[in-house]
Structures are given as structure tokens and as C-alpha cells.
Amino acid sequence: MNDAILLFDYDGTVRLGSEHATHYARSVAAHLDAEGERAFLSAHAAFVAGKPTTASTFDAFDADNAVRRLSGEFGVDDAVRHDAYVETRRRMAAGEFDIWAPKGFQEFIWSLPRNIEVALVTNAPAASLEPVLERLELDGLFDHVIGDAAKPEGLDAILDELLEERPAEALLSIGDIPRNDLAPAADRGCATAYIDHYGRPWPRATVTGSSLEELYPFIHRWVTERTA
């Protein structure tokens, strides 16, 4: 059994880029009248630019979540929104949209001691993950790839499975949405590394950075302390 586990989120953590979310927003907004469509897309663009203008997007988690919240605000049926989300992820898996991985991520993981486990856990559709990871040259980097995770509620069972008989202190959860990626881990005593894209502090985080790259030194120290 390995000495330490790194649990990475996917969207906004190891898979970057919001072009797909703009398409997602357009697909949803197309079901509104012309005035509503313009207002919806304007609000989403403002959020992506870091200047939210509506109550529903001020505390949105990311560009995808902003679409979900705006859909509720504008009265779009959730089934319509869900279909647009699935179609957007299908197109991402097919190679559309500009996406990228954090600079040096593959090399960073390779630089860590071998006696660790590296997991990827996401709410994104499981079927969409392999093609995107291949495109980002991250395929084969993770010991576990878990999609359709239903975070935050679903993360507890995943943490149980990953930890097995190890103490909570053996796991570091890394992500950009505290409620989904970090809180369930922190609740049981795991370490957490928070990527704060939007300047929204989360005091419970073990460490906070504005990007995953900024967190590399902490992650390296944390792993080394547990595998020496």
C-alpha cells in the first residue's frame, strides 16, 4: 500500500480553458427569446471575465456552474440545460474547444516519489475523460480516473475506497471548488490544497494558491514528508 495519495479535481484544476463553457452557455441561451439570450450570454461573459453582474453568478464555482445558475435564473428547463452540458462534453472529447493542462504538470507528477497514488476524481462524464486526457498528454498519469463522481455527496465513498486502512492524513485533495473538492476531505482530516481562481478565500484550506503551478512546491513537500 502506498504511503500517500494525491486526489486531483479535473475541471479548473488539471483541465483548463473556458471556451467549451461559452458554447454550453450559447446552447442553453438559444432556448430563450432574443432579449433573454442576450442577457444570459452577457452575464456569462461577465463572469468569465471575472466581473459577475447577476446575483446567480456572484458566487458561481466556475464557468460551467455559472451556466447552471443562470439557467435557473432565466427559467430554462433543467433537462434542456443537462442535454446542452452532455453535448458540450461530447464535443470536447471529440477534440473541439481550446483546452490545456497546467504548465509542467506531467513533469511535476513524474518528479514525485514513486510510492504515492495519484487519483483524478470529477463530476464530468466518465466517457469523456480518456480522449481529453490523451489530448492533454496526461493519459497514464493517474492510478485512478473516476468520472460521474457526484461530488460533493459522492466524494465520501470515494475517499473511503482510496484511503482503505490508511489514516485521513495520508490524503491531499487538490481542487478549485471548496464545496465539491475540498470540504468532504477536510471534514475527515485530510489535507487540502485550494486553487482560488476568483479571489474567494476558503479559510479551511491547508494551503491556497491562485493556480495549480503555484501549489507545486507545497505538494512536493507534503508528499516528501510522507514518503521519506
Q: Which residues partner with 194 through β-bridges?
A: 175, 208
Confidence of residue 61 (pLDDT cuts 50, 70, 90): confident
Q: Specify whether the CB–CB gap between 225 and 210 falls below 8 A.
A: no
The predicted model scores a pTM of: 0.93
Q: Positive or negative CA dihedral for 184, 188, 192, 196?
A: positive
Rounded mean pLDDT, 111-127: 95
Contact 173, 190 (CB under 8 A): yes
Partners of residue 195 on adjacent β-strands: 209
Peptide bond before residue 152 is cis, with ω within 30 degrees of 0: yes
**pLDDT tens profile 70-95:** 999 999 999 999 999 999 999 999 99
Distance CA 153, CA 88 (A): 24
> Which helix or strand (DSSP H or E) is residue 75 part of?
none
- pLDDT, averaged across the chain: 95
Confidence of residue 2 (pLDDT cuts 50, 70, 90): confident
Model confidence at 198, pLDDT cuts 50, 70, 90, reads: confident
Q: What is the pLDDT of residue 1?
A: 60
- Identity of residue 208: T
> What digits encode the pLDDT tens for the residues 150-165?
999 999 999 999 999 8
Q: At what angle do helices 34-48 and 63-74 cross, to 10 degrees?
A: 150
